Amino acid sequence: MRSEHAIRRPRPNSPVLTRTAGWIAVAFGVIHVVFSPLDRRDVWSDILDKGPWQTISLDITSENLAYSEAFWVAPGSFGVPVLLLGAFVLWTANRGERVPAAFGWAMSAWGAVLTALLPASPAWALLLVGVLLVLAARRTGAGSAGQR
């Protein structure tokens, strides 16, 4: 027979902080994947006309710098993985399940390094997502969504 105390239930995250972190990550990803190519539409038009194999290269030269930059800012960026992480965080929060604090700590560390290397960048959004996930994992409240 198992006692009530032997059953360990996962502690739910703070749903508001978790959802906020998720939406910030989704917005960050969408901006990188959707809006960055629009900002460089003339370069993307040239890439599509000449073909990506003729324009985008890991061997960056002055001739292909604009093409490489356009690639690494949009499809080659971390925009898609961050968008997927945000969608996962939102899905998890909507199910009332806990997002592990380790996700928040990892995102905070990554955001802190990127922000330190390039302060005038959107890396602060990654740091903010990480901090919100850590805080959400540490907070519980009576009546939190998903509390069983």
- Whole-number pLDDT of residue 144: 41
**Average confidence score pLDDT of the chain:** 85
pLDDT at 145 over 90: no
* Digit-coded pLDDT (tens) for 113-136: 999 999 988 889 999 999 999 999
What is the model's pTM? 0.75
pLDDT band of residue 76 (cuts 50, 70, 90) is confident
Angstrom distance (rounded) from CA 70 to CA 41? 9
Tokens describing residue 66? 């604009």
| Phi, psi of 30, rounded to the nearest 5 degrees | -65, -45
The confidence band for 143, taking pLDDT boundaries of 50, 70 and 90, is very low
